[in-house]
Structure 1
Amino acid sequence: MRILVLGGYGFIGRAVMRRLAADGHAPVGLGRSAAAGRHRAPQFDWIGADIAGLLSPADWLPHLSGVDAVVNCSGALQSGGRDRLKPLQHDAMVALFQACGEAGVRRFVQISAPGAAPSAATEFLATKGMADAALRASSLDWIVLKPALVIDGNAYGGTALLRMLAAFPLVLPLVHAGARVGTVSMDDLTGLVARAVLPAFPARQEIDLVEAEPGTLREVVLSVRLWLGYPPPRAVLSLPGWAGSAVGRIADLLAWFGWRSPLRSTALRIIAEEGVGGDPQAFAALNGGAPPRALGETLAGLPATVQERWFARLFLALPLMVAVLALFWLLSGAIGMARSGAASALLADAGFTPLVAMIAVVGGSLADLALGAAVLFRPLARRACWGMVGVSLFYLLAGTLFLPHLWLDPLGPFLKVLPGLVLAWVLSLMLEER
């Protein structure tokens, strides 16, 4: 079968495509960038399109040519930055359902979420629920799957957050530690998707994918910590709800800078008010009476090696690295502007004319300010890191040519450039989103 997978290079979409291909199907991935899809998984065909812009059946019909089934793995947690939930999760889907009817594509598998309903309190669950309702009202052979927190060897979003929390040194800070958080293994999810796309699979049903006995957030994070091989924390700090709300509001603000933090207010509200759960009976009925595997069984089937521990600790350190680099370069530029006279005098002593020295100081300060600001914007952050590396190398080269004695200065003005240069380079390596 030729199967169109929306969000094909996302966390769930990529795993779904691999499973479909392993079963002999020909999955076609649709994502914002076909080039990004080909870079990550060149063995598949890719379509580049912004789903939030495909708002009429005519927009979708060219992408449905020769397609036998559609699997929707797309979605976003919250509006902000480049994400607009209603066009993405509802309006475009309604147009797609109609286009599938016109193109003769009968089978549609929708990856939704526990608690999704048009009346849900969060925009994420409400728009997912509105799309689910529109799909149920259509003439398509639909299956709606509602996975709990998906656990895989790969990590993104909520699963990355679990590893980050588990990596906290000494203590474990948690908000809503007693909330129930059910999980499901990626293998159980992709296995069910692979069955659901087949014409013989019973259509027009909703299936929750969640372990039979979900643990609390505290228990889940401690299980992940044990799986990673870290010692138990000295203490578990149960933080008040207002602390989580404050973090969520900061994360919401950062979304307008392009940073898609898993600690957004939507995620915190869902955990606080509803938890992550569901009813495993429908899945069990299709699986010989067995519910989705429990978290312990899922983790036992995944290797936890040094790369998982590196990811957990580096993901925890990433916000600090961005903040430190931004602060360093912004302060460097601001101090350079404020002390331009003293800095230009230093260059004048090296043989520069006063005008050239002042231009060099002001130009360098402006470059520092620009790079410090740019690293705070996610779309520019990686290029800003490369710029920091380039400017640092230029400073060192020029300084060596004109002010070589500063290498032996007891305060080490040149030597101290090297750690910042390396930090910018390491951060540039970490800023791949998926």
Structure 2
Amino acid sequence: MHILLTGATGFIGRRLAARLRADGHRVVEAVSPRHGPPGPDQCVVDFARDLAPGVWLPRLQGIDAVVNAVGVLRDSPRQPIAALHRDAPIALFDACVQAGVRRVVQISALGVAQGDTQYASTKRAADQHLLGLAARAPSGGAAPLSACVVRPSVVFGRGGASSALFMNLTKLPVLVLPQPVLTARVQPVAVQDLADAVAVLLGSAMDRQGVVEFAGPQAVPMAGLIASLRAQCGHRPARVLPLPGPLTRLSARLGDLVPASPWCSESLALLGSDNTADAAPLQALLGRPTVAYGDLVARAWSRSP
């Protein structure tokens, strides 16, 4: 197929582009104006400003499917989270209906259905809008839109901000973390498992619609995940201390002031609650076992491009 991929230069987008091309699809990468002149099979889009369906229609000519992999952790003047997660995707999805695009896959996140953070609420709004479009009867004999919202748990691999944070923590002999983060359970998903699953949703599982939750094979408390990553790197166990609540909130607010920091109020809210789901759907879609958290360094970090 002829696929438009947004967020193509990001952590997940790069893997998706390579995987989809390996399947023989032609991928047009939607790239930010900050990346300079577009190369072959690239087009320039600005998710902060491209907020009307009419802006997207010329880019969708001849496009069979769209994958939206745009995501940011925090709000900023240059990357307003409401525009990037909600307004631009909604405009894109509306344009897909008008242009007759057959298939849309939205990369969301596990936990956004209940979360009240900016990240969760904006992602949820775009998810719900897309699903509403797919449920609506088409007019004028047009083919219905086929839509799937993918909600993975923490995605792990080289190039991911949260992955880099975890790997940096493994180097510390004494680990001081907020109590909610220490005890919250996650089911990490290797980035290549995610990319392979999206490829299936654009291939043999094209008829799969609605929300699909992706989770790794095992749930583990965050402290256990970091301890496992540390052991996988050949380090001895670290001493783990809980950070008092007032200092936790202060550290997150200080992180809010540092745009490049992966630690902020949004990440505290996201990492401080359980992020788990049934592991079966992802394994069934792939038709093979997925990467366990005990193998992430060898199979998702060391092998990631």
Q: TM-score scaled by structure 2?
A: 0.88
Whether 1:146 and 2:151 are equivalent positions in the alignment is: yes
State the 1:32 CA deviation: 1.3
Residue by residue over 1:164-190, the C-alpha shift from the partner in whole angstroms, topping out at 9 and shown as x without a partner, is 11122x212222211112200112100
Task: Say if 1:199 and 1:223 are closer, same or farther in 2 by CA, change over 3 A.
Answer: closer
Percent sequence identity is: 35
State the 1:267 CA deviation: 1.0
Structure 2 unmatched runs, 5+:
135-144
CA distance in 1, matches of 2:174, 2:37: 39
Name the aligned partner's letter for residue 100 of structure 2.
Answer: G
Residue by residue over 1:135-185, the C-alpha shift from the partner in whole angstroms, topping out at 9 and shown as x without a partner, is 110132011111111112x232111110111122x2122222111122001
Whether 1:156 and 2:188 are equivalent positions in the alignment is: no
Q: How does 1:26-425 map to 2 (within 5 A)?
A: 26-33=26-33, 35=35, 45-117=41-113, 120-139=115-134, 140-152=145-157, 154-168=158-172, 170-175=173-178, 176-198=181-203, 201-233=206-238, 235-255=239-259, 259=260, 261-272=261-272, 274-288=273-287, 292-302=290-300, 304=302
Contact 1:33 1:47 in 2 (8 A): no
Residue by residue over 1:265-289, the C-alpha shift from the partner in whole angstroms, topping out at 9 and shown as x without a partner, is 11111222x222222233244344x
CA distance in 2, matches of 1:284, 1:303: 20
Task: Say if 1:36 and 1:296 are closer, same or farther in 2 by CA, change over 3 A.
Answer: farther
Secondary structure of 2:182 counterpart: coil
Name the aligned partner's letter for residue 186 of structure 2.
Answer: V
Secondary structure of 1:208 counterpart: strand
Q: TM-score scaled by structure 1?
A: 0.63
C-alpha root-mean-square deviation of aligned residues, in Å? Answer: 2.3
Name the aligned partner's letter for residue 122 of structure 2.
Answer: T
Contact 1:228 1:304 in 2 (8 A): no
- How many pairs does the alignment contain? 293
Residue by residue over 1:199-228, the C-alpha shift from the partner in whole angstroms, topping out at 9 and shown as x without a partner, is 752232221111232111111111112222
Task: Say if 1:37 and 1:247 are closer, same or farther in 2 by CA, change over 3 A.
Answer: farther
CA distance in 2, matches of 1:212, 1:231: 25
Q: In proportion to residue count, which structure has more strand?
A: 2
Name the aligned partner's letter for residue 298 of structure 1.
Answer: L
Contact 1:179 1:275 in 2 (8 A): yes
Task: Say if 1:232 and 1:226 are closer, same or farther in 2 by CA, change over 3 A.
Answer: same
Secondary structure of 2:84 counterpart: helix
Q: Which runs of 4+ in 1 moved over 4 A?
A: 302-305
Q: In proportion to residue count, which structure has more helix?
A: 1
Contact 2:200 2:285 in 1 (8 A): no
Match of 2:141 in 1: none
Structure 1 unmatched runs, 5+:
309-433
Contact 1:284 1:292 in 2 (8 A): yes
Task: Say if 1:199 and 1:95 are closer, same or farther in 2 by CA, change over 3 A.
Answer: farther
Secondary structure of 1:145 counterpart: strand
State the 1:297 CA deviation: 3.2
* Larger gyration radius, structure 1 or structure 2: 1
Contact 1:71 1:109 in 2 (8 A): yes
Secondary structure of 2:48 counterpart: helix
Contact 1:227 1:304 in 2 (8 A): no
Bigger shift: residues 261-270 or 105-114: 261-270
Secondary structure of 2:189 counterpart: strand
CA distance in 2, matches of 1:99, 1:212: 37
Secondary structure of 1:191 counterpart: helix
CA distance in 1, matches of 2:81, 2:237: 39
Task: Say if 1:199 and 1:34 are closer, same or farther in 2 by CA, change over 3 A.
Answer: farther
CA distance in 2, matches of 1:243, 1:120: 23
